[in-house]
Amino acid sequence: MAKSKLPVEKLKASKSKPIPVKIVSDAPEATSDRGYEARERKYRAEDALRTIKEYEKLQADKALMKDVKALAREQMNALKKIC
């Protein structure tokens, strides 16, 4: 099976107009400290919100909370023996 060639227009170099070229660097852009701090604060706020949501789910589970209290009591009693 023969490949058909698509019609292609040949480019002609022009001495009067330079070809516009965008210079791209592979180096990462420098980030300002403020930008980093703002992203860090936002990440910490999102993380805290996830933690609060998880806490509310756990707190609603009465059987789990009963087990948590029993475990906390055991650990407190163990610490009382040491201290």
Instruction: Report pLDDT for 19.
Output: 72
Instruction: Report pLDDT for 34.
Output: 79
In this predicted structure, the answer to whether residue 52 has a pLDDT above a threshold of 60 is yes
Instruction: Report pLDDT for 11.
Output: 66
Instruction: Report pLDDT for 42.
Output: 95
* Annotated domain spans of the chain: 34-82
Q: What is the pTM of this model?
A: 0.47
30 exposed, middle or buried (CB, 10 Å; 0-12, 13-18, 19+)?
A: exposed
Confidence class for position 1, pLDDT limits 50, 70, 90: low
Taking the C-alpha atoms of residue 36 and residue 30, their distance in angstroms, rounded to an integer, is: 10
